Amino acid sequence: MAAKRNKKNNNPAKRTQPRSRRLLKGKTWIGSYNGKNIVRGYAKHFRVDLLCAIKELRLLGVMITDQYEQAVQQTLAALAAQKKLREEQKASLGAEELGDSNDDFAFIVGYTSGGAPYGVRWEDMPSDQDESE
């Protein structure tokens, strides 16, 4: 049987190009861009974040206001703060606090669109007596 060879991922659709190549291609891309937001379009097309797109578009001669850049920075900072808060809340919860319970359900997974809970019922939970026998 033939040995497997390690293949490099040469698919350009799955990786970001170096900045020098993006800047060369960006000149022609700007001329053909027809969308509403050139920063988001550049970021999506070249697979870079918004701040990198702003920096590179400025290098290519596109006028981008400082107010827009500050708004993007504030948005990214707010998203990072929300993510950190969610992670802290998830870490502070114990295993028994991850879900709700009531008289019918030992663990409420969620609620239907009508508001009815669904999850694991108390009678479906294994009892401690079964384990000791």
Contacts of 33 by beta carbon, 8 Å cutoff, 6+ apart: 41, 42
For the segment 5-30, the average pLDDT, to the nearest whole number, is 80
- pLDDT for 103 equals 74
Task: Kindly report, residue by residue over 84-116, the tens digit of the pLDDT.
Answer: 888 887 777 654 455 576 777 777 888 888 888
pLDDT, greater one: 107 or 54: 54
Distance separating alpha carbons of residues 77 and 75, to the nearest angstrom? 5
63, with CB counted inside 10 A (0-12, 13-18, 19+), is exposed
- The gap between the terminal CA atoms of the chain, to the nearest Å, is 53
Q: Which tops the pLDDT comparison, 127 or 61?
A: 61
Q: What is the pLDDT of residue 95?
A: 45
Residue 69: strand, helix, or coil: helix
User: Which is higher by pLDDT, 104 or 51?
Assistant: 51
C-alpha separations of 42 from 45, 58, 108, 112 in Å:
5, 12, 44, 40
